[in-house]
Amino acid sequence: MSERSSGGGTAGSEPGRPAQVSLARLAEFGIVPRRSLGQNFLIDDNIVELALRRLEACPDDVAIEVGAGLGVLTKALLRVTACVHAFEIDRRLEAPLRATLGDDPALLLHMEDIMRVRLEDLDPPPTVCASNLPYSVAAPFLAEAVARLPEVRRYCVMMQKEVADRLTASPGGKDYGSLSAWMQLHVAFVDVRPLSRAIFHPRPNVDSTLLTMERSIAHPLVEGEPKHLRRVIDAAFASRRKTLANSLAGALSVDKQEVLALLVAEGFTDRTRGEELPPEAFLRLAEAVADLLQS
């Protein structure tokens, strides 16, 4: 997905032109959405206001938005925050964005791929995130953001339901994996709201979710994380058919018997699998195997 809804229909629009801002901009600039970029433009004005309420932004917040599209969510964010880092990879949309947003000095427009950006170098650093995330970057962006943007305290993001299910999955379930464990060590899920396919143009072939997340002071990684934590989580889920000991030994290139001895000392068994562990268990696990991973 790649667009944000507007703040209402355009009163007094020209006869024969779409009244909704997103549709009007598409028509005005002759933009045809590209499915290769996951572009499904939001055409329900109510969702933007809902996202703003869920975001709970303050006037001194700095927002980051990925997939600025036609700039309607961007414009709404500019109303409630100090400034907005808006990212859009499709250069065809620069002119529509400028038409929507003008030369607002609070806008920091980045016409580039968010996955090629050093997030930690953004200045000023973001403190909230609101986006209608393109399908292809939802999971990788969020995984990077929670690690590299520690000052972002709250997220309100639209994404493919399948990704939201993976983020929020419980241990032992079919959707629980490395992304689940990693994200749940960084954020708490505040609200999960299903979205109708009808609110997007063109209508997607998948369901979507509005997910609100918060980086809580009660979460274990607010003060930092154990070395190798991400490597250990990824390794634990490298092969779901293998036991945890086999997965870690193979993916991390360490001796299986040494790994097994550490697992037993931590209360695990030779039959334990990665998908059985709650997120917090990976903190202990990363600390336990740290000596084996020293290079």
- Considering only residues 27 and 98, tell me which one the structure prediction assigns the higher pLDDT: 98
Pair (163, 262) in one structural domain: no
CATH of the domain at 272: 1.10.8.100
* pLDDT value of residue 287: 86
Closest to 159 (Cα-Cα) out of 108, 123, 200, 219: 200
- Considering only residues 223 and 289, tell me which one the structure prediction assigns the higher pLDDT: 289
Share of the chain above pLDDT 70, in %: 88
Bond into 59 cis (ω within 30): no
Q: Which helix (H) or strand (E) holds 88?
A: none
Note the pLDDT tens digit of each residue in 155-166.
999 999 999 999
Residues 6+ apart with CB under 8 A from 103: none
Domain contains 219: no
* pLDDT value of residue 260: 92
Domain contains 223: no
Pair (208, 244) in one structural domain: no
Q: Which residues of 121-149 are buried (b: 16+ CB within 10 A; e: fewer)?
A: ebeeebbbbbbbbbbebbbebbbbbbbeb
CA angle, corner 52, sides to 192 and 169, nearest 5? 20
Domain contains 242: yes
Residues 6+ apart with CB under 8 A from 217: none
Which one of 147, 179, 214 terminates a domain?
214
- Considering only residues 208 and 217, tell me which one the structure prediction assigns the higher pLDDT: 208
pTM value?
0.86
Q: Which of 2-6, 69-73, 231-235, 259-263 has the lowest mean pLDDT?
A: 2-6
Number of structural domains in the chain? 2
Pair (175, 251) in one structural domain: no
| CA dist., res. 82 & res. 80, Å (int) | 7
Q: Which helix (H) or strand (E) holds 80?
A: helix 72-80
Question: In terms of residue numbers, what domain contains 255?
Answer: 229-293
Which one of 190, 214, 238 terminates a domain?
214
Note the pLDDT tens digit of each residue in 22-68.
777 777 777 777 766 667 877 787 898 999 999 999 999 999 999 99
* pLDDT value of residue 7: 34
Pair (128, 169) in one structural domain: yes
Domain contains 90: yes
Across 110-139, average pLDDT: 96
Mean pLDDT of the chain: 87
CA angle, corner 56, sides to 96 and 41, nearest 5? 30
| CA dist., res. 250 & res. 81, Å (int) | 47
* pLDDT value of residue 245: 94
* pLDDT value of residue 28: 79
Pair (280, 168) in one structural domain: no
- Considering only residues 294 and 211, tell me which one the structure prediction assigns the higher pLDDT: 211
Pair (267, 166) in one structural domain: no
- Considering only residues 222 and 230, tell me which one the structure prediction assigns the higher pLDDT: 230
Inter-residue long-range contacts of 270-275, CB under 8 Å, 24+ positions, other chains counted: 270/243, 270/245, 271/243, 272/243, 272/244, 272/245, 273/240, 273/242, 273/243, 273/244, 273/247, 274/236, 274/237, 274/240, 274/244, 274/247, 275/171, 275/172, 275/173, 275/176, 275/177, 275/237, 275/240
Across 94-109, average pLDDT: 92
| CA dist., res. 227 & res. 216, Å (int) | 21
Share of the chain above pLDDT 90, in %: 62
Q: Looking at the predicted structure, is the pLDDT value of residue 17 above 60?
A: no
Domain contains 6: no
Which one of 189, 214, 239 terminates a domain?
214
Q: Which of 25-39, 94-108, 167-181, 235-249 has the lowest mean pLDDT?
A: 25-39
Pair (65, 152) in one structural domain: yes
Pair (137, 196) in one structural domain: yes
Domain contains 9: no
Q: Give the three-state DSSP class for 48.
A: helix
* pLDDT value of residue 202: 78
